[in-house]
Amino acid sequence: MPTTSLPTVLLIEDSPTLSLLYKGYLRHEDIQLCHSSTGAEGLAFIDGQCPDVVVLDLNLPDMEGMDILKAIQKQNLPCAAIVITAYGSIDVAVDAMRYGAFDFIEKPFSGKRLLVTLRNALNSRSLQRQIEQLSQYFRPNYHGFIGSSLAMQRVYRIIDSAAPSKATVFITGESGTGKEVCAEAIHQQSPRSKQPFIALNCAAIPRDLMESEIFGHVKGAFTGASGERKGAAEQADGGTFFLDEICEMDIDLQAKLLRFIQTGKIQKVGGTGTKTVDLRFICATNRNPLDEVAAGRFREDLFYRLHVIPLHLPPLRERSEDVLLIARQFLQTYSTEEHKEFVGLSPECEAIFTAYPWLGNIRELQNVMRNIVVLNQGQWVEAEMLPEPLRSVRPQPQRLLKPHKVAQPDTSPPPQEILPLWQVEKTAIENALRYCQDNIPNAAALLEVSPSTIYRKIQGWQKNGQDTKTKP
Ligand SMILES: Nc1ncnc2c1ncn2[C@@H]1O[C@H](COP(=O)(O)OP(=O)(O)OP(=O)(O)O)[C@@H](O)[C@H]1O
Ligand SMILES: [Mg+2]
C-alpha cells in the first residue's frame, strides 16, 4: 500500500516484459507506482484505495479490461484511466472513451508518449480535485439568499465567520439588496438561532414611541400606557436584536442606545429599576453612515460602537449573473403559488433582464416576477408580458437569440466563402489538435466537446473518404 502523498498510479498489465518496460519509462516521475498483473488484482486495488490514474492494458488474462473501466465509471470513482490498445483498434479506443477513459495509447508507444499522457491525466485529476474542493464553498442558496456570484459567496463567508461570535454586524447596502435577509441569516447561522430574533425598524416608529418600543414602559409612564409592556430589547433577551434603518434613529435616543449597548442594562420608560439582557446586535442602513456622522445626524461614538463587522451587500447590477438565477427561482415559486404553468423566460426576456439596471434591486425583481405571473398565462415569459420599465429596454444584439424567427433570404453576397459544415467542423478540430500537439482530451476541452466526439469524427472522415491527416 502506498504511504506517501505522491499521486498514485496503478499499472494493470499482465506481461512481465511490458510491465518492466513501462515501469522503466516512469521511473523518474514523482508518483507512487503500483502494479497489478491481473484484472481481479487491479479491481481489488481500486476498491481498496482508488488511485489517481490507472494505466490499463485492455487485454488481460482473467477479464476484459473494459469491465474495469465500466466499474470505475459506474461508481464514479475519482480516477483517470489511460487505456493501452492494440495497434489499429480505433473502435476499441472509441468504446473505451465512451466508458469514461481519459485517453488511450496505441501499442507500441514510446516512453515520451506515455509520460505526456500520464502527466496530462495527473493534471486533469489535480484540477478536478481543486474544483471539487472549491465547489464545497460555492453556494447558489444560503439561508434566504439566492445568488451564486463571487460577491455573494464573499457575503456568505463573512456571515459564516461572524455568526458564531457576539460581535455587532453593521450591514449596509442599497434599498432592496437583502439587508433584512442578511440579518436573519446571521441569526439562523448563529448559536442563538433557537432564541428570539427581534427586528425593530427605526424609520417606521414615531419618534416619541421609539424609546418605549426598545426598552418597554411601566403602567402610566405616558398617556395611553395603560399597562406595563416589555420592550423589543427584553423580548430579544438571549437572542438577536436587529436595529433596521439605524441612521433614522433620533439623536437623543442614540445616547440612550449607546449606554444600553455599553452596560447591557435596560430601564423601562417611567421605571426606576434596571434589568440586564444578553443580546447580539445587528444593525442596517441604506445610507452611508459616515456621511450621516459628518452631517451630525448619527453619533460618532455610537457608530464606532456598532461598526465592528461591516458587511456590504452589493447592488444587483454589480452581480448580473445572479439576475436570471433569482428570476427563475421566483418564477417557479410564484407559478406554484398562483397555480400557473410558467417554466422559464424566453431568450429575449433573459437578454432584457440582464441589460436592465435593477435600481430597486431584488425587491424590484421580485415585484416584476410577481406581476408577470399574476397577469399572464403560458409556459414561457415573453417580452410582451414585461411591465413598462423593462419593456423599453433594448438588449445588446449579441445577447438576443431568436430561435423561432425565420430569417428572410438575403440576396447580398456572403461576407466570406461558405463551406460545407463538415469541412468547417473538420478544420476547427484539426486546428485545435495542432494547437494541443495532438492531445485529444485537451483539444476536446478547448472545443467544449467530449474526447469521444473527436474520435468519432475522425473515424467518420476516414470512413467517408474525407481525407484527413489527423491521427489520434
Ligand atoms: N439574494 C436574495 N435572494 C432572494 N431574495 C432576496 C435576496 N435579497 C433580498 N431578497 C428579497 O428581496 C426583498 C427585499 O429584501 P430586504 O427587505 O432584505 O432588503 P433591504 O436591503 O432590507 O431593503 P430596504 O433597504 O428597502 O429595507 C425581500 O422580499 C427579500 O426576501
Ligand atoms: Mg430593510
Q: What is the pLDDT of residues 143-169, one digit of tens each?
A: 999 999 999 999 999 999 999 999 999
Binding site membership of 146 for ligand 1 (Cβ less than 6 Å):
yes
Locate the ligand 1 atom nearest the alpha carbon of residue 152 and give its number: 1
- Reference 217, options 269, 165, 157; nearest CA is 269
Q: 120-124, 191-195, 406-410: which has the minimum mean pLDDT?
A: 406-410
Is the separation of the CB atoms in 214 and 200 below 8 Å?
Answer: yes
- Backbone dihedral angles phi then psi of residue 105, each to the nearest 5 degrees: -125, 135
Cα–Cα distance measured from residue 330 to residue 140, given in angstroms and rounded to the nearest whole number: 14
Please report the DSSP string for 59-112 in residue order: B-SSSBHHHHHHHHHHTT-S-EEEEEE-TT-HHHHHHHHHTT-SEEEESS--HH
pLDDT of residue 409: 43
pLDDT bucket at 398, cuts 50 / 70 / 90: very low
Locate the ligand 1 atom nearest the alpha carbon of residue 180 and give its number: 18
* Cα 178 to the center of its chain, rounded Å: 18
Choice from 155, 172, 177, 317 to test ligand 1 binding pocket (greatest atom count within 8 A of CB): 177
pLDDT of residue 331: 97
> Distance, CA 325 to ligand 2 centroid (Å)?
22
Identify the residue whose C-alpha is closest to ligand 1 atom 27. 175
Name the DSSP class of 164: T
pLDDT of residue 437: 76
Residue of higher predicted confidence among 454 and 341: 341
pLDDT of residue 90: 80
411-428 b/e (C-beta count within 10 Å ≥ 16 → b): eeeeeeeeeeeeeeebee
> Distance, CA 178 to ligand 1 centroid (Å)?
3
Paired with 172 in beta bridges are: 285, 312
321-339 b/e (C-beta count within 10 Å ≥ 16 → b): ebbbbbbbebbeebbeeee
Paired with 243 in beta bridges are: 200, 283
Q: Could you give the count of Cα atoms lying within 13 Å of 110 in the half-sphere of its Cβ?
A: 3
Helix pair angle (321-337, 347-355), 10° resolution = 120
Cα–Cα distance measured from residue 100 to residue 97, given in angstroms and rounded to the nearest whole number: 5
pLDDT digits 0-9 by tens, 37-88: 999 999 999 999 899 999 999 888 899 889 999 999 988 899 999 999 887 7
Dig out the grid coordinates for 455 from the structure: 474520435
pLDDT of residue 412: 57
Q: 38-47, 235-244, 373-382, 426-435: which has the minimum mean pLDDT?
A: 426-435
pLDDT bucket at 408, cuts 50 / 70 / 90: very low
pLDDT digits 0-9 by tens, 283-326: 999 999 999 999 999 999 999 999 999 999 999 999 988 999 99
Is the separation of the CB atoms in 12 and 57 below 8 Å?
Answer: yes
pLDDT digits 0-9 by tens, 239-289: 999 999 999 999 999 999 999 999 999 999 998 889 999 999 999 999 999
Instruction: Work out the mean pLDDT of the chain and round it to a whole number.
Output: 88
Dig out the grid coordinates for 139 from the structure: 453556494
Could you tell me the maximum CA-CA distance found in the chain, to the nearest angstrom? 101
Binding site membership of 265 for ligand 1 (Cβ less than 6 Å):
no
Cα–Cα distance measured from residue 217 to residue 211, given in angstroms and rounded to the nearest whole number: 9
> Distance, CA 176 to ligand 2 centroid (Å)?
7
> Distance, CA 149 to ligand 2 centroid (Å)?
21
Q: 41-55, 128-142, 175-189: which has the minimum mean pLDDT?
A: 128-142
Residue of higher predicted confidence among 218 and 131: 218
Close Cβ partners of 115 (under 8 Å, ≥ 6 residues apart):
25, 26, 29
- Reference 55, options 86, 76, 33, 71; nearest CA is 33
Dig out the grid coordinates for 321 from the structure: 449573473
Close Cβ partners of 41 (under 8 Å, ≥ 6 residues apart):
12
pLDDT of residue 417: 64
Query: Nearest ligand to the C-alpha of residue 244?
Result: 2
Choice from 141, 180, 186 to test ligand 1 binding pocket (greatest atom count within 8 A of CB): 180
In this predicted structure, the answer to whether residue 3 has a pLDDT above a threshold of 60 is: no
Residue of higher predicted confidence among 423 and 42: 42
Q: 112-126, 186-200, 413-427, 442-456: which has the minimum mean pLDDT?
A: 413-427
pLDDT bucket at 420, cuts 50 / 70 / 90: confident
Binding site membership of 141 for ligand 1 (Cβ less than 6 Å):
no
Q: 18-27, 134-143, 395-404, 446-455: which has the minimum mean pLDDT?
A: 395-404
Mean pLDDT of the region 328-354: 94
Residue of higher predicted confidence among 383 and 408: 383
Cα–Cα distance measured from residue 349 to residue 260, given in angstroms and rounded to the nearest whole number: 51
In this predicted structure, the answer to whether residue 390 has a pLDDT above a threshold of 60 is: yes
Q: 147-151, 222-226, 234-238: which has the minimum mean pLDDT?
A: 222-226
Residue of higher predicted confidence among 465 and 412: 465
Binding site membership of 319 for ligand 1 (Cβ less than 6 Å):
no
Angstrom CA distances, 281 to 5, 193, 194, 238, stand at 46, 14, 16, 11
Binding site membership of 315 for ligand 1 (Cβ less than 6 Å):
no
Binding site membership of 360 for ligand 1 (Cβ less than 6 Å):
no
